[in-house]
C-alpha cells in the first residue's frame, strides 16, 4: 500500500462568502435590515462592503465593477456567488499547495487578505465545477 502525505487542510469553518450584486446598496439594506448583519468594513477600491454575520462575513461586491480572474472559474456573468472561503485550523502554504496539486488543482498566489478573523494569508483555486474557493489561514 503506497504511503500518502498527510492532509494539511484542517477546516475550522466558513470564513466568508462573496455575493455579486447589480445593486449593492439594495442587497446591503436587505442583509442589515432584514437579517441583522452589521457593516464590518468598506473597501471602495474593490467595490466591496463586508457585513458581519455572527462569526462569518457576507461580502457584497458590485458585479458591474468586478474584474477578478481565477483560472478555471465559471464566467462571472453565469453566477452571482463570487467565491466562498473556508477558514483553516492551521496554515502551511507549501504543504497546502502541494496537496492541492496532488489532487489536480492548481492553487493561486498566496496573498494577505481580510477575512472574518482579520488579516492573513489565503489562496484561491477553482473546484471541478468552476466555483472559486478560497482557503484562509487562522487568525494570527
Strands 132-136, 81-88: parallel, antiparallel or unpaired by DSSP?
parallel
Residue 5 lies in a domain: no
Residue 6 lies in a domain: no
Residue range of the domain that includes 68: 11-136
Residue 131 lies in a domain: yes
Backbone angles phi, psi at 131, to 5 degrees: -75, 140
Residue 115 lies in a domain: yes
Is this structure's pTM higher than 0.85? no
* Cell, residue 118: 482579520
Is the CB of residue 136 less than 8 Å from the CB of residue 113?
A: yes
Residue 2 lies in a domain: no
Domain count, the chain: 1
Per-residue pLDDT of the chain (140 residues), as tens digits, is: 556 788 999 999 999 999 888 888 988 988 898 788 999 999 999 999 999 999 999 999 988 886 554 555 556 655 688 899 999 999 999 999 999 898 888 999 999 999 999 999 999 988 766 778 899 998 87
Contacts of residue 60, defined as CB under 8 A and 6 or more positions apart, other chains included, come to 18, 19, 21, 24, 27, 28, 31, 48, 49, 50, 51
CATH code, domain with 75 = 3.10.180.10
Contacts of residue 140, defined as CB under 8 A and 6 or more positions apart, other chains included, come to 118, 119, 120
Amino acid at each position: 500500500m503506497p504511503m500518502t502525505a498527510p492532509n494539511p487542510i484542517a477546516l475550522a469553518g466558513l470564513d466568508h462568502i462573496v455575493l455579486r450584486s447589480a445593486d449593492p446598496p439594495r442587497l446591503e439594506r436587505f442583509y442589515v435590515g432584514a437579517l441583522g448583519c452589521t457593516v464590518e468594513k468598506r473597501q471602495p477600491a474593490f467595490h466591496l462592503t463586508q457585513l458581519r454575520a455572527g462569526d462569518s462575513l457576507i461580502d457584497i461586491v458590485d458585479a458591474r465593477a468586478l474584474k477578478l480572474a481565477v483560472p478555471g472559474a465559471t464566467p462571472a456573468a453565469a453566477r452571482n456567488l463570487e467565491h466562498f472561503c473556508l477558514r483553516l485550523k492551521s496554515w502551511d502554504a507549501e504543504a497546502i499547495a502541494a496537496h492541492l496539486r496532488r489532487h489536480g488543482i492548481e492553487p493561486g498566489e498566496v496573498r494577505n487578505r481580510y477575512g472574518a478573523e482579520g488579516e492573513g494569508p489565503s489562496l484561491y483555486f477553482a473546484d471541478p465545477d468552476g466555483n472559486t474557493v478560497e482557503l484562509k489561514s487562522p487568525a494570527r
